[in-house]
Amino acid sequence: MTDSGNAAAIDRITALRRRVCPPLHNVATQFGGYVQCTMHPSEYVGTVDRSLIRFRSDLRSMGFSPEPVAALKCHRDGRQSAGSWVHRRSPLAPKQLHVTVFRASDSAVEAYAHWEHSWIRHPIKHYRAKGWNTTRGVTTMRSILQAHDISFRDAAPY
């Protein structure tokens, strides 16, 4: 399933990331870098039965912000992410919860998460994924969803 349908639901940052990252990734890999990666199944939080637009609104109300500095995430089935979001205790917090969203259908999204160094405070550690913690990210995001009465199915889509 490609995610070309419902393009209006994709925000400008994500649209730009989808256009720019694939060709930049080809250059970055020649120097040992990356600007695109495939989501690992262990980061799966759950599937939420809400449209992308509604879930974006939910994320904002839960204190998340769109993440402009993020690699383009690709699903193992070929879909590209429909948004990257972060939750920090403060703008200069050393760590952040990073959530990536994929459209599953017009009325459902899949959420993936990990805990990591903030690129604002620790750009090198962030880029090199030092201290990356998938388990903490997934557990934290599930707790946030539950605290906001947002139900999700946690049967992995793989």
> pLDDT for 29-81, tens place per residue?
777 776 678 899 999 999 999 999 999 999 999 999 999 888 889 899 999 99
Q: Quick one: CA dihedral 139, 41, 39, 116, positive or negative?
A: positive
Strand partners, 134: none
Global pTM value: 0.84
- Mean pLDDT of the residues in the chain: 87
**Residue the block writes with tokens 């609104």:** 57
pLDDT digits (tens, 9 = 90+) for 90-111: 999 999 999 999 999 999 999 9
130: domain range? Answer: 7-147
The total of structural domains in the chain comes to 1
CA 155 to centroid of chain Cα atoms: 18
Rounded CA separation 16/19 (Å)? 5
In a domain, 158, yes or no: no
CA dihedral 139, 157, 20, 57 (to 10 degrees): -60
